[in-house]
């Protein structure tokens, strides 16, 4: 059981790095991992390339593995993301105190099969991505559970926001229409 947990954590970490690289290579975004910016312990995943951060982006990703018909799971079982209450509070306070706008990027990556730590985890395993860029306040759409976590689903986001959609390299990008004027320059 512990090995399965370690496997899962390793795979999640590697796949997140693949997604961050994809976002930086295909859009006007830069990762804080490769940045000199220090934000008092707050380290969102991405910011606009070539500028001092004014808009920060936090990536939440899931992967949807195709499976055999006998074990087939519905894609809807993967169309949700967990949001950490401490992160919401800390990032929100930091953004407000420093006049920075924060946004979520929710990503669902489609892959051929379930991954293990023994698989070669790179861009080639991703068949397609669905990206949703929404305002930071999207977390308010769901009530936190006892631990402070919030679980937000794609169906909730689609009910709340109208999206401007476009095809992108290996996927589809959807930006909530109420933030297009603030973030579109990063996704061209």
* Whole-structure pTM value: 0.86
Instruction: Say if residue 1's pLDDT is above 60.
Output: no
Q: To the nearest 10°, report the CA torsion of 137, 139, 142, 148.
A: -130
Instruction: Say if residue 2's pLDDT is above 80.
Output: no
Return d(Cα 161, Cα 178) in angstroms, integer: 8
Domains identified in the chain and CATH numbers = 2-186 (3.40.1350.10)
The overall average pLDDT reported for the chain is 83
Task: For 49-75, write each residue's pLDDT tens digit.
Answer: 766 778 899 999 988 887 655 566 777
**Structure token pair of residue 10:** 């390793």
Cβ burial 99-108 (10 Å sphere, 16+ → b, else e): ebbbbbbbbb
Q: Quickly state the pLDDT bin for 85 (edges 50, 70, 90).
A: confident
Instruction: Say if residue 39's pLDDT is above 80.
Output: no
Among positive and negative, which fits the CA dihedral 176, 179, 180, 186?
negative
Task: For 130-178, write each residue's pLDDT tens digit.
Answer: 999 999 999 999 888 887 788 899 999 999 999 999 999 999 999 999 9
């Amino acid at each position: 059981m512990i090995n399965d947990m370690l496997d899962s954590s390793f795979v999640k970490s590697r796949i997140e790095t693949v997604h961050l690289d994809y976002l930086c290579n295909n859009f006007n975004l830069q990762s804080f991992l490769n940045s000199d910016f220090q934000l008092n312990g707050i380290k969102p995943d991405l910011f606009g390339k070539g500028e001092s951060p004014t808009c920060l982006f936090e990536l939440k990703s899931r992967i949807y593995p195709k499976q055999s018909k006998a074990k087939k799971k519905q894609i809807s079982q993967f169309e949700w993301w967990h949001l950490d209450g401490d992160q919401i509070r800390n990032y929100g306070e930091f953004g407000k105190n420093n006049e920075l706008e924060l946004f979520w990027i929710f990503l669902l990556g489609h892959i051929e099969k379930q991954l293990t730590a023994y698989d070669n985890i790179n861009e080639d395993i991703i068949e397609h991505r669905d990206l949703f860029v929404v305002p930071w306040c999207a977390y308010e759409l769901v009530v936190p559970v006892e631990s402070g976590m919030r679980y937000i689903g794609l169906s909730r986001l689609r009910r709340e926001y109208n999206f401007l959609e476009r095809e992108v390299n290996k996927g589809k990008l959807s930006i909530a229409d109420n933030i297009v004027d603030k973030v579109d320059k990063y996704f061209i």
